[in-house]
Amino acid sequence: MTLIIPFPSKRRSGHARKIADQLSRSRSDREAEHILSRALNAYERQMHSASIPDAEIDLERSDFIFSIYEECRKLGSAWRPMMPGETA
């Protein structure tokens, strides 16, 4: 059976750009963390609702964080999300 991801992170560049813009305009780290966690939670809920396996959700989530990171870099944002596996 072929698994179809209805919300692939690689196709969500506009959403990643929007989140990156919000992150770049955040006034504090706490606000930026809230913006990022809200976006990631909504994305995960969509995939859970579509019955995507947890392993695939984790991969898509990592790809989405990377997309947001790259958009933040392009914008020259001082705040960027931590990449999965990265330590503070």
pLDDT tens digit string along 7-63? 677 788 899 999 999 999 999 999 999 999 999 999 999 989 988 899 999 999 999
Secondary structure (DSSP) of 6-30:
SS-GGG-HHHHHHHHHHHHT-SSHH
pLDDT of residue 11: 80
pLDDT of residue 57: 92
Cβ atoms of 60 and 8 within 8 Å: the answer is yes
Q: Please state the pTM of the whole predicted model.
A: 0.84
pLDDT of residue 80: 86
DSSP 8-state class, residue 85: T
Q: Which is higher by pLDDT, 86 or 41?
A: 41
Residue 84 tokens, joined: 């999965």
pLDDT tens figures, 50-80? 888 999 999 999 999 999 999 999 999 888 8
pLDDT of residue 34: 96
Say which residues have a Cβ less than 8 Å from residue 61's Cβ, sequence separation at least 6: 9, 40, 43, 44, 84
Alpha helices in the chain (DSSP H): 13-24, 29-49, 54-75
